[in-house]
Amino acid sequence: MNRVRCLVFNAALGPLDYRVPEGMTVEPGSVVVAPLGPRQIVGVVWEAERLPASEVPDAKLRPLLQVLPVPPLAAPLRRLIEWCADYYVTSLASVARMALSSSAALRGGGTVTEYRLTGHEPARLTPQRAQALDLLNGQQGTIRELAEIAGVSDAVLRGMVNAGILEAVLVDSDRPYPAPDPRHAEPDLSAEQAEAAAKMVAAVEAHEFRPYLLDGVTGSGKTETYSEAIAAAIAQGRQVLVLLPEIALTESFLKRFEARFGVPPVTWHSSLKSSERRRAWRQVAFGQARVVVGARSALFLPFARLGLIVVDEAHEISFKQDDGVRYNARDVAVMRAHFESVPVVLASATPALESLQMAEAGRYERLVLPSRFGGATLPDIRVVDLREQQPPRGQWLAPALVDALKDRLLKGEQSLLFLNRRGYAPLTLCRTCGHRFQCPNCSAWLVEHRLSRRLACHHCGYEVPPPDACPECGEKDCLVACGPGVERIADEVAAILPQARVALVTSDTLTSPAKAAEFVAQAEAKAIDVIVGTQLVTKGFHFPELTLVGVVDADMGLEGGDLRAAERTYQQVAQVAGRAGRGEKPGEVLIQTRHPDAPVIEALASGDRDAFYAAETEARREANAPPFGRWAAIIVSSEDEAEARDAARAIGGTAPRLKDVLVLGPAPAPLSLLRGRYRYRLLINARRSTELQRVIREWLDPLRFAPGVRVAVDVDPYSFV
């Protein structure tokens, strides 16, 4: 009797046993189709001894239906899936699903029919066809994907196919990617770069798990340095994974990669077309895609021969996923490297305190690049005390910053103003009755977006056009915008410097990799004088002519009392400051604040990073916060407020009473209504040595809740709302 145990993709079910029919061969990791009741379900064959399940007698077993034409998930990836499920207190199925992230890829290679413009343009066009012609320039995809891009119906595009404006192209989804050449354009490394690179290269050649913290100041050439390790892995026939925190950064990375290795890397992110996903997934699984650059989900790709993982801007909090499986890609990257026995490089100019602590403890090796490449110097940082230098009423830029902007414009140099707030104004109210515009689905204010003429909720996407009259008192033209967002700052710059060419850079304007590329090209061509942007422009970009950075409100991040508030403010301001003076001309940074003596502001002004981190570390130790103690959150939600509260109370009522575990709450979450769900929260603080996950499982497993209740566990939470 040939029986196997399978992990099936249904989180509510445990592992199931099946019979392997005559003539079929499977091994652990094989991806299979299995019967489940009247349906078919995808599963992965697993080592039975690692997956306890209730024994079903042989006679009752149903046969597997099919082995899917992909390589079995390798043992290191299976161990990673187990580790994630265990550590993040979630089901194996929901983690495994992230590894099999292209259902088309599982069904095999083959051809897909895509369409592209033929170049034939009839003299007369309907407005819809004209719009499609305009937006589809340079695009290729299925009818569905193109319809999405062009904003027209499938039928319009089918009509264009018949009219010879679009043509079909057969695309082989298994066509290989061009291979990067490790010797294509080797840089001359500085002595300090060469020293760091040599260590990483040696680790790649040794095929050993070695974690590195590449701690280099902004502009020190971290990319060039870790690229040597990438080159070594390619030369050895191995694959490389590079994780970036945001798609917006991918474009400039692609360009630099191509300059160094002759071809672009393979990309992996949520906006890939399904045919691109299928191709990338399969080429990764067959070992042909050599270097993959991607968002956090790339971590679970089924690499055949991984040789190195790089996490760039490793301090970024966007590596933490806050829905579905709540994992931290930086930490999972280290675990994957461990299971794969390969080195991992965490690169940052402002490492997370957790990472520095690991280096201190000797668990990570710290590689330091103390100076900027090519003789560029770090910028001068000055504090502008807003209590003394008040901007005029309704404006946000203090006279010193305005003068500096004028000066740069005269000299033909570029400036960057940073404010981490999208839109025009974070709050809108009625001058007459004081009514505040709030999201009906969330406990949050609606943010005015003047460019797109809407009031929008940044949590759930709800939006309405700004009304002419107050919905509360009916008064007309009485709405006032309170506080600044980047759009408002851009308006202010335009009013002060009418000749300046201003670019607004937020996730509302850089909506695609192509838009990001266009922005980079314009900035490099000096077609922009002043960039006004959110955290999107704080990192990664390299504009040699940019010599002034203004931080509009350094205090914003300090509000709210988040555990990492000071650290995050430090990182954000230091990163954005790091955009200044990267070329030959020295840079200057002005930080606007009402709290010039806050330790984080003083540390930024004096450039004393070590002292700041040392003080933060002590504060964390005192508070039993990470990396010394551990936090977890339990978030209970339901569309019914009473149901959510009752469930949260039931959890609170059975909280474990352990010496080393402190349970706080339940209490309404700060964001007590989110996407129409009422939220309650419990926080758990434990000693490092506690088996926190086991405690939480044993606590929650026996509890049963009303069907509308969701209970989510967030281990090592970053968001406390």
Nearer to ligand ATP, 90 or 193 (CB): 193
Instruction: Please say whether the beta carbons of 539 and 547 come within 8 A.
Output: no
**By the rule CB under 6 A, 581 interacts with ligand ATP:** no
Instruction: Please say whether the beta carbons of 8 and 39 come within 8 A.
Output: no
For the chain, counts of helices (H) and of strands (E): 20, 29
Q: Which does 216 bind (CB under 5 to 8 A by kind): Zn ion, ligand ATP, none?
A: ligand ATP
In degrees rounded to 5, what are phi and psi of residue 46?
Answer: -130, 160
Nearer to ligand ATP, 364 or 373 (CB): 373
Please give the residues from 159 up to 188 whose contact with ligand ATP meets the rule CB under 6 A: 187-188
Does 457 count as an annotated binding residue? yes
**By the rule CB under 6 A, 223 interacts with ligand ATP:** yes
From the CB of 679, what's the least distance to Zn ion, in Å? 13
Q: Which does 188 bind (CB under 5 to 8 A by kind): ligand ATP, Zn ion, none?
A: ligand ATP
**Residue type at 394?**
G
Nearer to Zn ion, 352 or 457 (CB): 457
Q: Exposure pattern of 332-347 as b/e (b: 16+ CB <10 Å)?
A: bbbbbbbbbebbbbbb
Q: What share of the chain is helix, strand, coil (3-state, %, to 5)?
A: 35, 25, 40
Neighbours of 716 (CB within 10 A): 19
- Name the DSSP letter for residue 320: B
**By the rule CB under 6 A, 275 interacts with ligand ATP:** no
Please give the residues from 341 up to 370 whose contact with ligand ATP meets the rule CB under 6 A: 349
Provide the mask over 292-321, with x wherever binding to ligand ATP is found by CB under 6 A and - wherever it is not. Answer: ------------------------------
From the CB of 428, what's the least distance to Zn ion, in Å? 15
**By the rule CB under 5 A, 462 interacts with Zn ion:** yes
Provide the mask over 373-412, with x wherever binding to ligand ATP is found by CB under 6 A and - wherever it is not. Answer: x---------------------------------------
C-alpha closest to that of 716 among 632, 619, 636, 628: 632
Neighbours of 224 (CB within 10 A): 19
Does 84 count as an annotated binding residue? no
Cβ neighbours of residue 346 under 8 Å, at least 6 residues apart?
A: 211, 212, 213, 214, 311, 314, 330, 333, 334, 355, 364
Neighbours of 528 (CB within 10 A): 21
Q: Which does 109 bind (CB under 5 to 8 A by kind): ligand ATP, Zn ion, none?
A: none
Q: Which does 485 bind (CB under 5 to 8 A by kind): ligand ATP, Zn ion, none?
A: none
User: Using H for helix, E for strand and C for coil, what is the string for 510-523?
Assistant: CCCHHHHHHHHHHH
Nearer to ligand ATP, 219 or 533 (CB): 219
Nearer to Zn ion, 460 or 664 (CB): 460
CA gap 10, 657 in Å, rounded = 33
CA gap 34, 46 in Å, rounded = 14
**By the rule CB under 6 A, 189 interacts with ligand ATP:** yes
Nearer to ligand ATP, 190 or 275 (CB): 190
Does 442 count as an annotated binding residue? yes
Please give the residues from 375 up to 414 whose contact with Zn ion meets the rule CB under 5 A: none
DSSP β-ladder status, 629-638 and 677-687: antiparallel
Q: Is 160 helix (H, G, I), strand (E, B) or coil?
A: helix
Q: Select the residue interacting with ligand ATP from 114, 215, 224, 492 (CB under 6 A).
A: 224
Nearer to ligand ATP, 449 or 542 (CB): 542
Q: Is 99 helix (H, G, I), strand (E, B) or coil?
A: helix
Please give the residues from 537 up to 556 whose contact with ligand ATP meets the rule CB under 6 A: 539-540, 542
Does 482 count as an annotated binding residue? no
As a whole number of Å, the CA-based R_g of the chain is: 27
Cβ neighbours of residue 374 under 8 Å, at least 6 residues apart?
A: none
**By the rule CB under 6 A, 277 interacts with ligand ATP:** no
How many residues are present in the chain? 721
Q: Which does 187 bind (CB under 5 to 8 A by kind): Zn ion, ligand ATP, none?
A: ligand ATP
Which residues face 636 on adjacent strands? 680, 711
**By the rule CB under 6 A, 418 interacts with ligand ATP:** no
Q: How far is CA 196 from the centre of its chain?
A: 27
* Nearest-CB residue for ligand ATP: 221
Q: Select the residue interacting with ligand ATP from 29, 43, 219, 426 (CB under 6 A).
A: 219
Nearer to Zn ion, 63 or 440 (CB): 440
Nearer to ligand ATP, 189 or 554 (CB): 189
Q: Which does 540 bind (CB under 5 to 8 A by kind): ligand ATP, Zn ion, none?
A: ligand ATP
Half-sphere exposure of 77 (CA within 13 A, CB side): 25
Q: Is 403 helix (H, G, I), strand (E, B) or coil?
A: helix
Q: Select the residue interacting with ligand ATP from 142, 173, 218, 509 (CB under 6 A).
A: 218
From the CB of 673, what's the least distance to Zn ion, in Å? 8
Nearer to Zn ion, 82 or 448 (CB): 448
From the CB of 313, what's the least distance to ligand ATP, in Å? 7
Q: Which does 665 bind (CB under 5 to 8 A by kind): Zn ion, ligand ATP, none?
A: none
CA angle (252, 575, 309) in 5-degree steps: 55
Neighbours of 688 (CB within 10 A): 12
CA gap 255, 302 in Å, rounded = 26
Encoded tokens for 315: 């301090």
In degrees rounded to 5, what are phi and psi of residue 583?
Answer: -100, -140
Q: How many residues bind Zn ion (CB under 5 A)?
A: 7
**By the rule CB under 5 A, 459 interacts with Zn ion:** yes
Does 478 count as an annotated binding residue? no
CA gap 521, 260 in Å, rounded = 19
In this structure, the dihedral spanned by the alpha carbons of residues 332, 255, 350 and 356, taken in order and rounded to 10 degrees, is: 40
CA gap 210, 338 in Å, rounded = 8
- Residue 358 to residues 265, 313, 366, Cα–Cα distance (Å): 30, 17, 9
**By the rule CB under 5 A, 439 interacts with Zn ion:** yes
Q: Which does 343 bind (CB under 5 to 8 A by kind): ligand ATP, Zn ion, none?
A: none
**By the rule CB under 6 A, 222 interacts with ligand ATP:** yes
Nearer to ligand ATP, 588 or 643 (CB): 588
Q: Which does 441 bind (CB under 5 to 8 A by kind): Zn ion, ligand ATP, none?
A: Zn ion
Interaction site with ligand ATP (CB under 6 A): 187-190, 193, 216, 218-224, 349, 373, 539-540, 542, 578
Interaction site with Zn ion (CB under 5 A): 439, 441-442, 457, 459-460, 462
Which segments are annotated as binding site for Zn(2+)?
A: 430, 433, 439, 442, 457, 460, 470, 473
Which segments are annotated as binding site?
A: 430, 433, 439, 442, 457, 460, 470, 473
